[in-house]
Amino acid sequence: MNKNSKIIIAVLVALLLLAIRYIYVLKNITTSSMDTSSFAIKELKCYDSLQYFAIQESLSGAVGANILIKYKVSPSSTFSCVYDIGSEDFEIKNTKSEYFLSFADNFLLLDSGTGPSNRQLIAYDLRSKKLVLMDSYQGPVTVTGDNITYLTKKDQKPSLQNCPDLSSYTANGLNALIMAKVSVDLATGTKKEWGKNQCVASQ
């Protein structure tokens, strides 16, 4: 076998090895790209109060978030902003497109919805870990201790009599809702209406 034949054989062997390696890498890339759910980007936001620490975990491309509540032994207790579930923690899994809204003393307020209007206000008692309120609302929500104030939807059909701007709303492609200003004592569940109803635009 002459020198040129040896060189040609060596080059062919090298090319064959490169081809085999390329096929192996390509196969691994194709296999790993079949299931990308475990690589979804998670966005964490954390909220602090004197008694509780909330961690909100959102998934990219999804509506709503999981909420994890950690309980402080003292106001100075600190937690890392990491979604790591402990045995004493309270986890609220996303089922109704929920987002953290606020703490209200020993209560947690969540905002729920998929659009700018017809949203729901949800409240949990963080001591009993039970749902205590679910109501339609329009913000802002005013929090004073465990008492909250907001606008809620009334079962009244908008008309020119109770909604003077109805024609303007509909001319701009909007709907209208009759809302009442209410206060809720979360500790007792007492709900009280304040003042006249309001007519607001909605999508």
- Give residue-wise pLDDT tens across range 28-75: 323 223 333 334 567 999 999 999 999 999 977 778 999 999 999 999
Determine the structural domain holding residue 31 and report its residue range.
1-37
Do residues 93 and 171 both lie within one domain? Answer: yes
Do residues 105 and 189 both lie within one domain? Answer: yes
Do residues 32 and 72 both lie within one domain? Answer: no
Structural tokens at position 83 = 């979604």
**Best CA proximity match to 55, nearest among 92, 9, 104, 87:** 92
Splitting the chain (203 residues) into consecutive groups of 10 residues, what average pLDDT does each group show?
55 50 38 36 91 92 92 97 96 94 98 85 98 93 96 87 85 86 96 88 79
Asked if the peptide bond before residue 140 counts as cis, ω within 30 degrees of 0, the response is: yes
* pTM strictly above 0.95: no
How many other CB atoms are there within 10 angstroms of residue 169's CB atom?
Answer: 18
Q: How many domains does the chain have?
A: 2
Cα–Cα distance measured from residue 153 to residue 166, given in angstroms and rounded to the nearest whole number: 16
Do residues 2 and 89 both lie within one domain? Answer: no
